[in-house]
Amino acid sequence: MVNEWGEEVSSTIPCERALTVYVDKRELVTLMTLGGHPELLVLGYLRNQRLVQSVHDIESITVDWEVGAAAVRTRNGIERIEERTARRVVTTGCGQGSVFGGIMDDVDRIVLAPATLTQEQLYGIVNAIRIQDSIYKVAGSVHGCALFRGDAMQVFIEDVGRHNAIDSIAGWMWMNAVTGDDKVFYTTGRLTSEMVIKSAQMGIPIVVSRSGITEMGLAVAQRVGLCAIGRATHKRFLCYSAPERLQRQPELAGARLRAVA
């Protein structure tokens, strides 16, 4: 590789793999992933697509990278799987995410816990991400997502698409019997409708992004009472929805710079 000064340099490039998911021998979807947590990714994908209701619905997940496949065996099959997976929507997620068409059908049934976050804890989350060792710092080209309780990080996962990272966290939550009631979800990517819906389905009432939010993402957040905070870098942020969940401490933001006349 050649840099801006015309020098030959070495660099690290993340590996992107195709993982085709089969459920009870039926091909479901192909996910493009770094491949760091394939079992959690597959489990979380099935959870966030609402194809399984409990981790106990899954008998086994077997990943074979030689053929790039993940074989899922369920205990009792998935009811109406052909009908429920017939319509697929390609999302704005990098790595070309996709969701099945009925993902919004049950949004109005979601009831989120009355959790709150202090501004001090928000700054703690931003700082924890800043000092976190990551593939992004070495190579770029990936998104990172994390689950927090207050400003204490519970898990951090990177993947080529933020939708894969959140699905892997959903799988981790199920495997460790972790609920979302008092948790905060962080993503380096923008808060699209897909990301907001998945967070709400995971029972997480507060999401934070260093990027912004889309119009549909905001509409969904407002609809379910989810607190969406974006543009969160250093001590700056924008609270887009459910501001009552954010316990504001403006004195922590520091002095505001004023233009000189």
| Range 195-228 burial, b when 16+ CB lie within 10 A, else e | bbbbbbbbbbbbbbbbbebbebbbebbebbbbbb
pLDDT at 124: 98
pLDDT at 177: 96
The helix (run of H) or strand (run of E) holding residue 134 is: none
Helix axis angle for 193-201 and 162-175, nearest 10°, is: 0
Residue given tokens 């992107």 in the structure block: 16
The amino acid at 237: F
Residues with Cβ within 8 Å of 53's Cβ and at least 6 positions away in sequence, in order, are: none
Give me the tens of pLDDT residue by residue for the chain, a chain 261 residues long: 787 787 887 877 678 889 999 999 999 999 999 899 999 999 999 999 989 999 999 999 999 999 999 999 999 998 887 777 765 544 445 444 445 445 566 788 899 999 999 999 999 999 999 998 876 676 666 789 999 999 999 999 999 888 999 999 999 999 999 999 999 999 999 999 999 999 999 999 999 999 999 999 999 999 999 999 999 999 999 999 999 999 999 999 988 766 555
Integer distance in angstroms from the first to the last C-alpha of the chain?
48
pLDDT at 103: 59
Q: What are phi and psi of 248, to 5 degrees?
A: -75, 140
Residue given tokens 């990027």 in the structure block: 211
**d(C-alpha 26, C-alpha 198), whole Å:** 24
Cα 240–chain centre separation: 18
Coil, strand or helix: which one is 229? strand
Residues with Cβ within 8 Å of 67's Cβ and at least 6 positions away in sequence, in order, are: none
pLDDT at 213: 95
**Six-digit token string for 74:** 């369920």
